[in-house]
Structure 1
Amino acid sequence: MDHSMHDGRPTGTAPTRMAVSATLHCLTGCAIGEVLGMVIGTALGWSDVQTIVLAVALAFLFGYAFTIGPVMRSGLALRAAIPVALAADTVSITVMEIVDNAVMLLVPGAMDAGLDSPLFWGALAFALAVAFVVTVPVNRWLIGRGKGHAVVHQYHGGGHGSPEQHPTAGDLHGRDHH
């Protein structure tokens, strides 16, 4: 991958590649939470609002967990990893969840379809795909400004420096991101 950096920010094709990777990463956590929430809410016969609230809460939980785990494996303690995950994923997950749930609400009958309905699963897959397409440019914009997944990038994939070289949670909040 092209991880060229200039002034602490990725350059060349790196921001777009990082944005696609970050969005796929976010989509994985969001999809698990979203599907689980939709399945639980639908199975229990909950209202659309109750189901969406559960799906969104679980999407954030799984989305953050998918960032916290690798960041902790890089050497940060949980207390320092949480602010990294919040900085990396909050905007991405928020955009993804707004788009995903809006699509689910806009597809006629999708929220009322049962778990055995192709409409339910097709609408959910379509909603997640649309959310991915909308979120990639958002993540690209954030990464280009040294925000979003640019904050967490150094912790992923190993080989990006020792834990001693990584900023503390306090350092992350003090960074100047133009």
Structure 2
Amino acid sequence: MRQEAHASHVHHHHEGMAGGGGWETAVRATLHCLTGCAIGEVLGMVIGTALGWSAVPTLILAIALAFFFGYALTLRGVLKAGLGLRAAVKVALAADTLSIAVMELVDNGVIVLWPGAMDAGLGDPLFWWVLAIALAVAFVATTPVNKWMIGRGRGHAVVHQYH
């Protein structure tokens, strides 16, 4: 009985998304992605900047931590739903890789291209403003990607079946 209700919920969920009603779900998925990316991105930028690292190692650390925290948030949810670690890792990779990659490409592109942003220190308001703007631009760019994936039963549509 419970399995039938779950199957009905998943079926209904995908019907709505495929029919173009998936913007709300795409926004939630992108906010989820943004949360993990922002934690990693900010932490990486702060650590790299505080240690006086150059742009490339700082960006590499920020991107690595963004992927780590993005995947970790999804893993937490699907593990809590009772999925085993191996299956949970597969779900997180399937659900988040493209979303995180687009978000990181856009947000780091904004930071790198913004004049003076990579040279700004932690005490410089430019550092924080550009980081916030970059994450906002990345959110706007990634939401349609997530809608496209969800509409095809991929991305966070995969995660949704474990909620």
TM-score (norm 2): 0.89
What whole-Å deviation, never above 9, does each CA across 1:86-114 have from its counterpart, x for those lacking one? 00000000000000000001111111100
Cα distance in 2 between the residues matched to 1:53 and 1:11? 36
Cα distance in 1 between the residues matched to 2:116 and 2:64? 23
Letter in 1 for 2:141: V
Q: Do 1:4 and 1:14's aligned partners in 2 also have CA atoms closer than 8 Å?
A: no
- The change in CA–CA distance for 1:46 and 1:11 in structure 2 (over 3 A counts) is same
Number of residue-to-residue matches in the alignment: 154
Letter in 2 for 1:100: D
Letter in 1 for 2:104: E
What whole-Å deviation, never above 9, does each CA across 1:5-33 have from its counterpart, x for those lacking one? 46944345641111000000000000000
TM-score (norm 1): 0.82
Name the counterpart of 2:154: 147
Determine if the alignment matches structure 1 residue 89 to structure 2 residue 111.
no
Determine if the alignment matches structure 1 residue 112 to structure 2 residue 119.
yes
Q: How does 1:31-42 map to 2 (within 5 A)?
A: 31-42=38-49
Structure 1 residue 47 displacement after superposition: 1.1
Identity rate of aligned residues, in percent? 69
Name the counterpart of 2:58: 51
Q: Do 1:41 and 1:54's aligned partners in 2 also have CA atoms closer than 8 Å?
A: yes
Determine if the alignment matches structure 1 residue 28 to structure 2 residue 35.
yes
Q: Do 1:5 and 1:11's aligned partners in 2 also have CA atoms closer than 8 Å?
A: no
Cα distance in 1 between the residues matched to 2:126 and 2:62? 18
Match of 1:115, SS?
Answer: coil
Q: Do 1:84 and 1:152's aligned partners in 2 also have CA atoms closer than 8 Å?
A: yes
Structure 1 residue 72 displacement after superposition: 0.5
Higher relative CO (Cα under 8 Å, sequence separation at least 6) belongs to 2
Gaps of 5+ in 2: 1-8
Letter in 2 for 1:152: V
Q: Do 1:4 and 1:12's aligned partners in 2 also have CA atoms closer than 8 Å?
A: no
Determine if the alignment matches structure 1 residue 65 to structure 2 residue 67.
no
Match of 2:118, SS?
Answer: coil
RMSD: 1.7
Gaps of 5+ in 1: 157-178
Q: Do 2:38 and 2:135's aligned partners in 1 also have CA atoms closer than 8 Å?
A: yes
Structure 1 residue 124 displacement after superposition: 0.1
Cα distance in 1 between the residues matched to 2:37 and 2:136? 12
- The change in CA–CA distance for 1:4 and 1:87 in structure 2 (over 3 A counts) is closer
Structure 1 residue 36 displacement after superposition: 0.2
